[in-house]
Amino acid sequence: MAKYWCDFRLLLFVAALVFIYIQMRLFTTQSQYADRLALAIQAENHCTTQMQSLIDQVSSQQGRILALQEERTRLDQECRQIKSLVQDLERKEVRRLIDKVQVPVAAVVIMACNRADYLERTINSVLKYQRPISSRFPLFVSQDGSNSDVKSKALSYDELSYMQHLDFESVQTERPGELIAYYKIARHYKWALGQLFYKHNFSRVIILEDDMEIAPDFFDYFEAMATLLDKDKSIMAVSSWNDNGQKQFVHDPYELYRSDFFPGLGWMLARSTWDELSPKWPKAYWDDWLRLKENHKGRQFIRPEVCRTYNFGEHGSSLGQFFKQYLEPIRLNEVQVDWKSTDLSYLLEDKYNIHFANNIKKAKPVSGADIVQKTHNIDGDVRIKYSDQWDFENIAQQFGVFQEWKDGVPRTAYKGVVVFRYQTTRRVFLIGPESLKLLQIEYLDS
């Protein structure tokens, strides 16, 4: 019995050893499987990460490709637009403006003081025609003094530049009863022209007053005249005004004249002339000063038959002098004249005498009493001689034209000849005692 019990214990020991061995093998195997499983999971995770990275790279590349395609499409569209724009500019002949810097024809300055309502009307009239060509005709308002309404009105426009002349120096008139305003105006003009010519460096300046409206071809007219002003040094300035420009005395918007009398009221001056005038600029009455022979020195002024400016300023420094009779009836041109295509060579000094003399020669002579009635009964142009200033004033009064003289020169006259229309298209030439000699006309029937 003891033997069997011993064998049984031996068997149990062997079985225990086998069980322990099996458990150890199982543990080893499980550890190996766990390690392999961990490696497999790690490998799988790595593959997943690599795959996701690859997918992200592919997606990124696809996004870039799409972005490049969109950019190319946009660039193609821009290229087509630019090509279309270039073709359009070529058709409009704008290439010349790109190839070289455009120099302004002239600065335009509106001289103002204390009339805000007048200034607004003038600015609006100028901007109506200046806006499309603002680079060729930069616009300025120059105010004399500190009137707040005028300053506020000028500054309310973005299209113009504002200048202010503040003069605190007292004014001493040279003669009793003179208006101080004329002295202040002369100072203002000298200051403003100095600013535009020397500070802003313009080669030409067009001067307007704050009570003017302009014609549709105002800027085309002055652009054409700028070439003439530069070419012919016997032309001192160019004006848009005709003193005898009332409706009953004008007809042809294309007709231009030379005159020994400075018209003013919308005029263009070159810097070279200002260099000469500025050092001796007068204390007052600058416009009459320009009409003195010692200052214009035989040079003339260009003026139109039909005015390119209209003066509506009934109230001002001149206290409305002559307004109802001479200014209010002025005819403002309404015709869009193509000045660039117009031959203006007849206005050059060496040609104008011949041109003007030929017109006088063709006119029919009128003399004696009832001159106006005789003129009315003649078809075509007429010429009437006057012997002196008194005689001229008498004849001018009968027709209703300006009688005024300055320094021996009647308003609008050229070589002593005053010309105006009288009913229909008829021209009347009032011829002075020295006119034929000055025009080198040897003989005319009386």
Integer angstrom CA distances of residue 385 from 242, 319, 407: 22, 34, 20
> Are the C-beta atoms of residues 212 and 124 closer than 8 Å to each other?
no
Please give the backbone phi and psi of residue 357, each rounded to the nearest 5 degrees, phi first. -60, -40
Residue 436 to residue 368: CA distance in whole angstroms: 19
**Strand 382-385 to strand 427-431: parallel, antiparallel, or no bridges (unpaired)?**
parallel
From 7, 158, 287, 388, active-site residue: 287
Task: Provide the sign of the torsion angle of the four alpha carbons 209, 296, 403, 177, taken in this order.
Answer: positive
User: Residue 42: which region, alpha, beta or left (left: phi > 0; alpha: psi -120 to 50)?
Assistant: alpha
Residues 6+ apart with CB under 8 A from 364: 378, 380, 381, 382, 383
CA angle 45, 47, 51 (to 5 degrees): 115
Residue 102 to residue 269: CA distance in whole angstroms: 20
Residue 131's Cβ-count burial label (10 Å; 0-12, 13-18, 19+) is: exposed
Residue 57 to residue 376: CA distance in whole angstroms: 100
Smallest Cα–Cα separation from 401: which of 389, 386, 411, 409? Answer: 411
Smallest Cα–Cα separation from 118: which of 84, 158, 147? Answer: 147
**In 92-179, which ranges are continuous DSSP H helix?**
95-99, 116-130, 148-155
Q: Specify the DSSP class assigned to residue 94.
A: -
Task: Provide the sign of the torsion angle of the four alpha carbons 7, 13, 16, 18, taken in this order.
Answer: negative
Residues 6+ apart with CB under 8 A from 417: 356, 360, 429, 430, 431, 432, 435, 439
Q: At what angle do helices 116-130 and 148-155 cross, to 10 degrees?
A: 20
Strand order in the sheet with 364-365: 364-365, 382-385, 427-431, 418-421
Which residue type does 419 have? Answer: V
Catalytic annotation on 287? yes
Residues marked active site are found at 287
